Structure 1
Amino acid sequence: MAKEGVTTVSLFWRIFALNAVVLGTATALLLWAPVTVSVPVVLTEAVILLGGLAVMLVANAALLRLGLAPLERLTRLMTTVDLLRPGQRLPARGGGEVEELIRTFNAMLERLEQERAASSARILLAQEAERRRIAQELHDEVGQSMTAVLLALKRAADQAGDPLAGELRQAQEITRESLDEVRRLVRRLRPDVLDDLGLVSALTSLTHTFATHTGLRITRRFADDLPALAPETELVLYRVAQESLTNAARHAGAERITVALDRGGDSVVLAVTDDGSGMPAPCEGAGIRGMRERALLIGGTLDISPAPSAGVRVRLTAPVTRKQH
């Protein structure tokens, strides 16, 4: 809608006016300039006419470029906009239909970002609920069944003679390793330590377990004055750290990783830095986009950039939201 008291001019009439100005200027020059056209046309007259045509074309192109510049900016934004990087807007300038088009596009982006954030929140919450359910079933059903099998194998091995006792103890060891793997899966699906002891303890446990199973050297640096956070914020920070560690081990070929948790004003900053081979700028898979969606869920920002020396640094800035009592 046009603003009150402002007369809007359509794009058609603006282009028409630009061309009219150029043609009118050319006509005035032809009328008042001391230039005549002979028959046949002599060389100097042809040069003057062609020069005037060139000037008209250049002036017309420059004025049209100026008038259509807002549309070009809008086109560039349309081709590069990413809903996982919210806040990309164009200033509503240009007048008339162009200004209205830019304003409408900005409103559409706002609506799409809100809808995307809402749908991502529902998906992520459903995903966490499903992970919790699977972890509970693994712990209650599979874990207990394997524990019972382990105990039965132990009793059978104690009562059996050689060589059967040796085979039973070997089966017992395989079952114990499988039970440990099930427990690791349960912790990855739903870290109970996060609910029981908080974010710092959960990240400490995560990095220790990760270093043990991958052989990577992981350095932890956690600030002492971290504020209390809402459960969903702690969960997002934990999942981003988990995904960052996995990416560094699987894709970057890293040897050393630093996990830092600091306070910056009214926010908490998680930084995971590796010394791997780095990541091409356009290369963002499902894992990284998943981290961006989680960051949006809590109103945070995720930045992935080259590390100061080598490798990649993943930096999540999460606003402080107090725990609900």
Structure 2
Amino acid sequence: MSLFWRIFSLNAVGLVVAAALLLGPVTVSTPVLPGEVLVVVVGLTALLVVNAVVLRVGLAPLGRLGRAMATADLLRPGARPVVSGPVETAELITTYNAMLDRLETERAESAARALSAQERERRRIARELHDEVGQTLTAVLLQLKRVADRAPEPLRHEVSQAQEATRAGLEEIRRIAHRLRPGVLEELGLLSALRSLAAEFSAHGLRVRHDLAGDLPPLTRETELVFYRVAQEGLTNTARHAHADRAELRLTAAPDGVGLLVRDNGRGLGDASDGAGLTGMRERALLIGATLTVEPAPGRGTDVRLHIPTEDRA
């Protein structure tokens, strides 16, 4: 039984007993006059209605608090229930809001540490792939070339196939290392990195059209990295899951901030829930005070939008 019905039932029982006493042993006239019965019944009904209204209004903030707790999402911060109601209820809502502020701050800090460690690990793996595995495969290619020069004619075709497979593996290693550690972002900046990213996906079957504003305000390295990773993850999801053949990559600057759009013409979101990719993008957006939205594109497909306001960018 809800708190409203518990309190209302208790008050109603008391009022009904009081009315019964007025119409029974505790009365001013004997026998009870019809007018007295009418007055008592009307008064009882009015008291019950007023009691129900007062309880409903007084307990409404608790209902709003319950709905806010049920829909709270640390990856979509900012929503807070309004502090209202009696003193005890207002204190409870204030305490909940303070707890939510603390949880969001701790979540953002832990996500920042985790993503920073992830980027360090990406750089380490990329360096080892390039320096260790890449050099080993290069040495294997040189050895296969010497073997091909000395091998008899019947074996040269098989050695050539081994060379091609090793060369393809070396190119794949280099591509993975490049995606793990975007050197072009560190050396040439965000615009060149996004152009290179669009060209990379276009070379693998997804036609990516890019429209990148050249008048961007100064951005921190963390902000540029978040923009690059969101674009990379958005195009990766498009290539893997969207069944799309075209995509659009747009970076714009406006008085209210900087925005990134990744749009495809795929099958859309459907009923799919957020996976690890979208969750990672939302966590990265929180690090720089940006807003990430994923919604259906006009007509068909999916829009991934990242926007950082001007005040947060500074």
Matched, 1:284 2:266: no
CA apart distance, 1:51: 6.5
Counterpart position of 2:26: none
With structure 2 as the length reference, what TM-score do the two structures score? 0.85
Counterpart position of 2:233: 243
CA apart distance, 1:169: 1.1
Q: Distance in 2 between matches of 1:212 and 1:47?
A: 88
Q: Distance in 2 between matches of 1:294 and 1:121?
A: 8
Q: Distance in 2 between matches of 1:189 and 1:37?
A: 95
Q: Distance in 1 between matches of 2:37 and 2:144?
A: 106
Moved more, 94-103 or 243-252: 243-252
SS of the residue 2:153 aligns to: coil
Counterpart position of 1:109: 100
What is the RMSD of the two structures over their aligned residues, measured on CA atoms? 3.2
136, 147, 158: which one pairs with 1:145?
136
CA apart distance, 1:252: 2.0
Moved more, 50-59 or 116-125: 50-59
Counterpart position of 1:261: 251
Counterpart position of 1:314: 304
Q: Distance in 2 between matches of 1:170 and 1:156?
A: 13
Question: For structure 2, which runs of at least 5 residues remain unmatched after alignment?
Answer: 24-28
Moved more, 53-62 or 147-156: 53-62
SS of the residue 2:199 aligns to: helix
| 1:104-183 paired onto structure 2 within 5 Å | 104-183=95-174
Matched, 1:218 2:208: yes
Partners of 1:153 and 1:168 within 8 A in 2: yes
SS of the residue 2:178 aligns to: helix
Distance 1:45 1:101, change over 3 A: same
CA apart distance, 1:251: 2.1
CA apart distance, 1:48: 8.2
Seq. identity, %: 58
Matched, 1:304 2:259: no
Q: Distance in 2 between matches of 1:120 and 1:179?
A: 34
Moved more, 195-204 or 73-82: 195-204
Q: Distance in 2 between matches of 1:161 and 1:269?
A: 61
Partners of 1:37 and 1:45 within 8 A in 2: no
256, 275, 278: which one pairs with 2:265?
275
Distance 1:155 1:279, change over 3 A: same
CA apart distance, 1:58: 3.4
SS of the residue 1:174 aligns to: helix
Question: For structure 1, which runs of at least 5 residues remain unmatched after alignment?
Answer: 1-10
Q: Distance in 2 between matches of 1:245 and 1:263?
A: 21
Q: Which amino acid aligns with 2:73?
A: D
Moved more, 45-54 or 291-300: 45-54
Q: Which amino acid aligns with 1:66?
A: V
Partners of 2:285 and 2:291 within 8 A in 1: yes
Instruction: State the Cα deviation string for residues 211-256 of structure 1 (Å, max 9, x = none).
Output: 222x222111111212232111111111111111121222222222
Matched, 1:67 2:48: no
170, 176, 188: which one pairs with 1:185?
176
Distance 1:255 1:74, change over 3 A: same
CA apart distance, 1:282: 6.8
CA apart distance, 1:71: 0.7
Q: Which amino acid aligns with 1:187?
A: H
Distance 1:159 1:46, change over 3 A: farther
CA apart distance, 1:281: 6.4
Distance 1:48 1:225, change over 3 A: same
SS of the residue 1:163 aligns to: helix
Moved more, 68-77 or 309-318: 309-318
Q: Which amino acid aligns with 1:265?
A: P
Instruction: State the Cα deviation string for residues 163-186 of structure 1 (Å, max 9, x = none).
Output: 112211111111000000001110
Matched, 1:82 2:73: yes
Distance 1:51 1:307, change over 3 A: farther
Q: Distance in 2 between matches of 1:149 and 1:63?
A: 83
Q: Distance in 2 between matches of 1:163 and 1:234?
A: 54
SS of the residue 2:214 aligns to: coil
Q: Distance in 1 between matches of 2:122 and 2:210?
A: 27
Counterpart position of 2:219: 229
Number of positions where the alignment pairs a residue of Structure 1 with one of Structure 2: 299
